[in-house]
Amino acid sequence: MYYFVRANGETLHNNPRRTEAFVAGEPPEYPQTYFNGLSFCFRENIVRIGWPDTGDLRTRDRKGALARAYSLQTVPEHVKGYLETFRSIRPGSVVLVPNKDATGDIYIAQVTSGYDYYHSVPTHPYEHAHRVGVRWDRDQRNQPIIYHASLLGIPIRGGFWTRAFAVIDRNANAQEIIGRIEAARQNAGVA
Domain limits, the chain: 2-187
For the segment 13-49, what is each residue's pLDDT rounded down to a tens digit? 999 999 999 999 999 999 999 888 899 999 999 999 9
For the segment 69-80, what is each residue's pLDDT rounded down to a tens digit? 999 999 999 999
Residue 175 CA to residue 114 CA, distance in Å, equals: 24
| SS percent in the chain: helix, strand, coil, step 5 | 25, 25, 50
CA-based nearest residue to 32, from 13, 19, 51, 49: 13
Which amino acid appears at position 59 of this protein? T
Residue 38's SS3 state is helix
Contact 122, 167 (CB under 8 A): no
Q: E strands of 23-182, at which residues? A: 34-36, 46-49, 94-98, 105-117, 130-136, 147-148, 165-167
Weakest mean pLDDT among 92-96, 128-132, 150-154, 157-161 = 157-161
Q: Which residues contact 13 (CB under 8 A, 6 or more apart)?
A: 21, 22, 23, 26, 52, 66, 67, 69, 126, 127
